[in-house]
Amino acid sequence: MESARPITGAEYDVVVIGAGFSGLYALYRLRDLNAKVVCFEAGDGVGGTWYWNRYPGARVDIESMQYSYSFDEDLQQEWRWPEHYSPQPDLEAYANHVADRFDLRERIEFSARVNRLRFDEAANRWHVRTDRGDQVVAKYVIAAAGSLNAENIPQFPGLDSFQGQWYHTANWPREEVDFTGKRVGLIGTGSTGIQIAPVVAETAGHLHVFQRTPNFSLPSKNRPLEPEYEREWKANYTERRAAISQDPGAVYWANPADRRSIFEFTPQEREQILNEAWASKGGFEFVRCFRETMVNPEANEIVAEFVRNKIRQTVKDQAVAELLCPKTYPFGTKRLCLDSGYYETFNRENVTLVDVRSDPITEVTPTGLKTTATAYDLDIIIFATGFDAMTGAMTRMNVTGVGGMDLRDKWANGPTSYLGYFVAGFPNLFMIHGPGSPSVLAQMITSGEWQVDWVVKFVEHMEENGYGRVDTTSEWEENWSAEVNMVADYTLYKKADSWYLGANIPGKPRVFMVYVGGFDRYIQRCNEQVEAGYEGFVLS
């Protein structure tokens, strides 16, 4: 698509970065302020995560009846989701529908990636540039650029020499990639690898799955949405959306959480409860069988071993099954995956699991890739190797704040923020789903809506009271970091080398970046600080 002419010299009230679900909602809400707004979007369409991650098998892991906007009653009543867990094309279609229905497109500049953000202290204005040549000035910036946006491509020597095709799943082409008869190598077994493997295996000549760390995956039990189920949701949206805002994961659960302790039951009873949940519930409901799964190592191990046994029962070759069993970190401390037939894929003749923990990948060659022990001939390499999560979208934008401070320097020892929104020394810059926010541990459309509402109210407060600038202080960042760490320490989350800790990126400081205190608690904390007279904010 030919890009429009760059905008130069224009002044805006607000620049929104990213036309994903939060960015779109920000554009919608900012209308109430009558503000002059522009949104820069790197892609040539809306949808953010659901625009970029168009790999085969990409699908949401929260049911679509709730992984959807709540702000407009007509929208939520009229929109029809064909399946419980929507595939990427349906989510992208929904984002497009919302952009059109609410006339949001006119304020979006597509194919314009923000690559420079500079704060002018004297004028309290952000100077924003894009790779398309835009140069504009704005009082406020709302960065809705995504927690999982900056792809991680491991720097294997020789990648440039590869004569086949290679793709990162988060930058998948629109054109269909034909795997028929091809020798395919898939690197990575996180949520993405687990979704793409079964689909590729259907047509590939041979699929090698290069696994460094196995993941726990639960059956999604995805199916077409039953009309009765849809009717029930639509009749009860008000109550259910209200329940979502009271839930730590911003999720509506069909069954109330079981507050019973796992230790009240005999091993046989536990097995029965877990089996019933596994067989009937689908999705993350399984995690809620017992109250202490995510905080007590012994309880966690019982659940972990139950899931390992499911893997052993599903995968016929027991040596392969053992390799697929996660044993080095507690259940759920790396993001849990939902799958549609992942483990069954390893029963296919045309699929081989390669353990690159014991035999690491050393280089890409013109004809495939090499591990320390073996050379693999491949036509296609798929990198399902994840993201420079939580911080990558921001640090890749060349952001400089007060005194020319570079955000990368500011975050050299790990990201800091106040409430996940603000970084001291970077005034008038609001992050949505930033480090220190609940991010992926709360259902992201709802938590994004809530964060955007909070930011818009904040901006309203500033405008009504004639403020030109809002900043926070290092002290308040430290307080918030301490709170983020305190709640994480109460759980088992820090025991895994996960992207929550930056452990997937070589050299990234090991700092827990997600607020695991719960979306409900997060709402409370953000509101408390405002009600306490905007405590922690420096308004001038």
Report the interface residues with ligand N01, using CB under 6 A.
Answer: 59-61, 148, 154, 187-193, 195, 212-213, 335, 338, 356, 361, 384-387, 440, 499, 504
For 423, the 3-state DSSP assignment is coil
∠ CA(380), CA(383), CA(389), 5° rounding?
A: 165
| Residue nearer to ligand N01 on the CB measure, 141 or 170 | 170
| Residue nearer to ligand N01 on the CB measure, 85 or 426 | 85
C-alpha torsion sign, points 100, 101, 107, 108: negative
| Residue nearer to ligand N01 on the CB measure, 54 or 183 | 54
Least CB distance to ligand N01 at residue 234 (A): 23
Largest CA distance in the chain: 70
| Residue nearer to ligand N01 on the CB measure, 336 or 424 | 336
Structure tokens given for 207: 């699929």
Alpha helices in 146-291 (DSSP H): 191-203, 227-235, 237-244, 267-280
Integer-rounded Cα radius of gyration of the chain: 23
CA-based nearest residue to 331, from 260, 248, 266, 262:
262
Contact 174, 56 (CB under 8 A): no
Least CB distance to ligand N01 at residue 69 (A): 17
| Residue nearer to ligand N01 on the CB measure, 210 or 476 | 210
C-alpha torsion sign, points 306, 307, 312, 314: positive
Least CB distance to ligand N01 at residue 89 (A): 14
Place of tokens 């500049």: 109
| Residue nearer to ligand N01 on the CB measure, 190 or 427 | 190
Least CB distance to ligand N01 at residue 17 (A): 20
87 to each of 18, 82, 223, 394, 451, how far by Cα in Å?
Answer: 21, 9, 11, 27, 25
| Residue nearer to ligand N01 on the CB measure, 292 or 344 | 344
| Residue nearer to ligand N01 on the CB measure, 59 or 281 | 59
CA-based nearest residue to 452, from 433, 425, 480:
433
Q: Tell me how far apart the alpha carbons of residues 527 and 344 are, in angstroms, rounded to a whole number.
A: 47
Least CB distance to ligand N01 at residue 64 (A): 11
Least CB distance to ligand N01 at residue 107 (A): 28
Q: Tell me how far apart the alpha carbons of residues 6 and 3 are, in angstroms, rounded to a whole number.
A: 8
Least CB distance to ligand N01 at residue 201 (A): 17
Least CB distance to ligand N01 at residue 375 (A): 16
Least CB distance to ligand N01 at residue 58 (A): 7
Structure tokens given for 278: 């596994």
Give strand pairing partners of 119: 126
Q: Which helix (H) or strand (E) holds 462?
A: helix 444-464
For 207, the 3-state DSSP assignment is strand
| Residue nearer to ligand N01 on the CB measure, 290 or 383 | 383
